[in-house]
Structure formats: C-alpha cells, structure tokens
Structure 1
Amino acid sequence: MSDGWWFQRDGERVVWRGTPRLSAALPGVGLGVLVCVAAAAAAITVDVRLAAGVLPGGGVAVWSVLGVKRTEFVLTTRALWAKRGVLGRSVRRVGTRKIQNTAFTQSPTGSVFGYGTVTVEVAGGEELELRRVDDPETVQTTLRERMAGTDGVIPGSSDQWRSVLRLTRAIRASVAHADSARGDDDAS
C-alpha cells in the first residue's frame, strides 16, 4: 500500500498526503533564467563562447523544478514521512509520539492563494518543515489530532458506552444514598 519510500504497519492508514506547490521552484527558475539571459547577452556583445553559460542557467532552473516535484509528504496514523531529493533520495520518518508541537505560517500571497509552511517540532531531533503545502491550517490540525492519538472516532461501541453510563449512575446513586444516610446519623 506504500509507494516504496515509506511503509505501513498493520492497521496503519494514510491520513494526509501533500507536496509543495510548484511555485516553490520560482526563485531557482528565476535565477536560472537570469543566468541564461546574461549568458546570451554576453555571447551577443562580448564573445560567442559565453553562450555556454546558458547550460548552467538551464540546469539551475530544471534542478529547482525537479527538487519540488520529487518532494512528498505523507501523514499516517502513526508517523509523518518526508521525501526529498533530485539525484538521490532523503527520507525522514517521525513517529507521531515524537511530535512535540506544530505551527503554520502564511505569507500575504500564501493567505490569498491558500498555501503556507507547517513547522513540526520533533523531540530529540531537528524540526521538519512542510513548505508551500496547500491549506496549512488543516494540515496542522490533522497533525495535532495525530499527536493526541485521535481520529475523531470515539472508541468503543454504543452498548459499551451505555454500560458505562449505567455504572456511573449506579455509583452516583450509591454515593448519594451513603451521604443521605450519614446525614441522618449526624442529625440524631
């Protein structure tokens, strides 16, 4: 059931999946285009051999896009997984019990277009950032639910909870009866 870079244990299920928005590559693409334009201008005005600078500029742009495309995040009922890397692959797994705190931030454009960064503080480790993910507030809420160990599902069946209610009422009645009996003894 996993994609080969993360694994699931019995009963574990995916709660959320996400990737950064492609706009996260814009700074690298912009730099690559700037290098390409500068190399082309230098080739026209100075020396044709300077056109070779277009290759590194294109490489920077492609590298930035691939870096974003090959980044994935998966939250299961037991862990948060993050995969990054263009030529190689770096995978990090953080058990939900190791997550100490979460926060999200949004830039003004992120607020308008619905993306932001979710920061995850990890006990005994480096914090993890889920950059430029869609709807970061929902992602943070989902992470907090996992930290608390809840799925939004109440454990037990209706019959079990009715039994607990009957037992609680019986205990309350017994305590009330004992209090009233003790009150009668004190009055005499």
Structure 2
Amino acid sequence: MGQPAVRRVSLSFPGVTDYALYRKIGVVSRRASQAPLSTVQNNLYSQSLTGSLFGYGAVASEIAGNGGFAYRTITDSPAVRALVAEGTEAADSPTGESTERRSSPGCLE
C-alpha cells in the first residue's frame, strides 16, 4: 500500500494601487508581500501562444533590493503592465501624483 497522494493548492491574489504592488499567496495559510511603486526598476509582460488565444499573460516587475514580483496567468496583462508603469512614473514625479486614474483586472481598490 502506497502513500496517499497529497496535492498542494495555492492561490495568488495580485493587486496594484496608486502606491504599491501587493501579492497574497495561500489558501489555508497566507503570505502577503508589498513593494512601493517608487522601488520598481523594470516592468514587463509576456504572453504565450495559449495566453494570446485565451486572453491571459504574465507581468513581472523588478524591485530594488527585493528581487521582484511576478504575476502569472492574469487577464489583460498589457493593461496591468501599463497601470504599474503609470504608477511608477507618478511615484517618480516631483509631485508624486498621477494625472489619470485607471483601473484594471487584479487591482485592489
């Protein structure tokens, strides 16, 4: 008689606000991460062939001194990447304010 199969289930909840990137991971136990937009150094998105067909992709952001955040299998990844880029530019501006507010899938409001 063998060992029972145990399947590991994990959910990821990404979020983008005007000030930070957020990521919550877990079902039973949760782990949350946050990175201010002012620390984002590089931001890109990618889509596989199946992602292009079904409308999902990945967004990756490199964070100064922290490695980075990767949001995988999210819908409308180009819009989420643009939202992060806009927030990063606003965080780097002298006033620190965005000229336009946008909302996208995966955003925390």
Give the TM-score taking structure 2 as reference length.
Answer: 0.78
Match for residue 100 of structure 2 among 142, 145, 152: 152
The structure 1 segments of at least 4 consecutive aligned residues displaced by more than 3 Å after TM superposition are none
Aligned length: 94
Instruction: Provide the residue aligned with 1:8 in structure 2.
Output: none
Is the CA contact 1:106–1:117 (under 8 Å) kept in the aligned structure 2?
yes
Q: 2-side partners of 1:117 and 1:132: how far apart? A: 6
1:96-175 correspondence to structure 2 within 5 Å: 96-149=37-90, 150-152=98-100
Q: Deviations over 1:47-89 (max 9, x none)?
A: xx34xx4x31xx31xx23xx13xx2111111111100123322
Which amino acid is 2:100 matched to? G
Q: 2-side partners of 1:74 and 1:105: how far apart? A: 18
Greater helix proportion:
1
Percent identity between matched residues is 28
Q: Where does the alignment leave 5 or more consecutive residues of structure 1 unmatched?
A: 1-48, 154-188
Instruction: Provide the residue aligned with 1:73 in structure 2.
Output: 14
Q: Where does the alignment leave 5 or more consecutive residues of structure 2 unmatched?
A: 91-97, 102-109
Task: Please state how far the C-alpha of 1:127 moved relative to its aligned partner.
Answer: 1.1
Task: Please state how far the C-alpha of 1:111 moved relative to its aligned partner.
Answer: 0.7
Q: 2-side partners of 1:98 and 1:133: how far apart? A: 22
Greater strand proportion:
2
Give the TM-score taking structure 1 as reference length.
Answer: 0.47
Instruction: Provide the residue aligned with 2:33 in structure 1.
Output: 92
CA separation of 1:107 and 1:124: change in aligned 2, threshold 3 A: same
Cα RMSD (Å) of the superposition? 1.6
